[in-house]
Structure 1
Amino acid sequence: MADPARNTLPLPDYDHLPIGGLESRVRSLSADEVERLLAYERSHADRLPVPQLLGSRPDQLQGGAEPTSGDPNALRPEAGPGGRGGSPVSPATSPQPHSPPPHGTPDQPAQPKGDRT
Structure 2
Amino acid sequence: MADPARNALPLPDYDHLPVGGLESRVRSLSAGEVEELLAYERSHADRLPVTEVLTARLDQLRAGAEPTSGDPDALRPEQSTGRSGSPVSPATSPEPFGPPPHGTPDQRGKPKGDRS
Query: TM range, normalised to the smaller chain?
Result: 0.7 to 0.9
Q: How far does the alpha carbon of each residue in 1:66-107 deviate from its partner, in whole angstroms, 9 at most, with x for none? A: 101122122224533xx357687334464417878x8x8957
Residue identity over aligned pairs, in percent, reads 62
Question: 1:55 and 1:105 mapped to 2: Cα distance?
Answer: 63
Question: 1:42 and 1:30 mapped to 2: Cα distance?
Answer: 18
> Highest Rg: 1 or 2?
2
Aligned to 1:39: 39
Question: 2:34 and 2:103 mapped to 1: Cα distance?
Answer: 56
Measured on the aligned residues, the alpha-carbon RMSD in Å equals 3.4
Match of 1:89 among 73, 87, 90: 87
Question: 1:79 and 1:21 mapped to 2: Cα distance?
Answer: 12
Q: How far does the alpha carbon of each residue in 1:8-56 deviate from its partner, in whole angstroms, 9 at most, with x for none? A: 1000000110001111000000111001101111111111200011011
How many residue pairs match? The answer is 113
Could you state the TM-score of these two structures normalised by the residue count of structure 1?
0.73
| Preserved CA contact (<8 Å) 1:27 1:70 | yes
Could you state the TM-score of these two structures normalised by the residue count of structure 2?
0.73
Structure 1 moving runs of 4+ over 2 Å: 77-80, 83-95, 97-100, 104-109
